[in-house]
Structure 1
Amino acid sequence: MMGMKWAYLAAGIVFEVLGTICMKYAEGFTKLFPSILVFVFYGLSLAALVFVLEKMEVSIAYGIWASAGTALIAIIGMLFFKENVSVAKIVSVSFIILGIMGLELLD
């Protein structure tokens, strides 16, 4: 059962990332299907987080959920949406990833 909290947390992160990607495609909620998916994916993401919080401290779970989603979206933005890639952005994302590892390994 210990692995289930990590599975729920991973699912929550994936759904949050998918919801954010759909935001990009929703174009200010002018596109119906991506707009609906924003709410579906964010709803699933928050539901997964609720289940995680039964077994994990909120500071750890939310910290990992929020920062992993942020790091993944930054990477996806650079790779798939052709956003600016800079040394500062790469170093910053690296610090986010190190912070995630610190939350898990040092707890």
Structure 2
Amino acid sequence: MGNGAFLAIAIAAEVIATSALKASEGFTRLVPSVVVVAGYGVAFYFLSLALRTIPVGIAYAVWSGVGIVLVAAIAWIVHGQALDAWAILGITLIVAGVAVLNLLSKAGAH
């Protein structure tokens, strides 16, 4: 499995864990709380594997940027959280930043 796959797994696990935080109700509900703790554990483990060859600054920027976008989308779809024009602009800028890092920047080359 490649380092890009490790990073993708880390992102997915972090998004699942973060999305389960609301359902955990302050860690008072067992199953969502277990999902949160396990999800973050998986996320950090796979992020550490990705860091074997991906520079930490690039990996973290991609991990957090993609995570922000996915969590915002899940909050909108599942929880009905409204996104105004400024929120959509901000999310668009995050996506653009991640794209620039991955497609144009030499900083992530290994």
TM-score range, shorter chain: over 0.9
**1:39-54 correspondence runs (5 A):** 39-54=37-52
Gaps of 5+ in 1: none
The CA RMSD over aligned residues, in Å, is 1.0
Question: 1:26 aligns to what?
Answer: 24
**Structure 1 length normalisation: TM-score?**
0.94
Aligned to 2:98: 100
Given candidates 58, 65, 68, the residue that maps to 2:66 is: 68
- Contiguous gaps of at least 5 residues in structure 2: 106-110
Shift of 1:55: 1.1
Equivalent residue for 1:17? 15
* Sequence identity percentage: 34
Q: Matched residue of 1:83: which SS?
A: coil
Residue 108 of structure 2 aligns with which residue?
none
Aligned length: 105
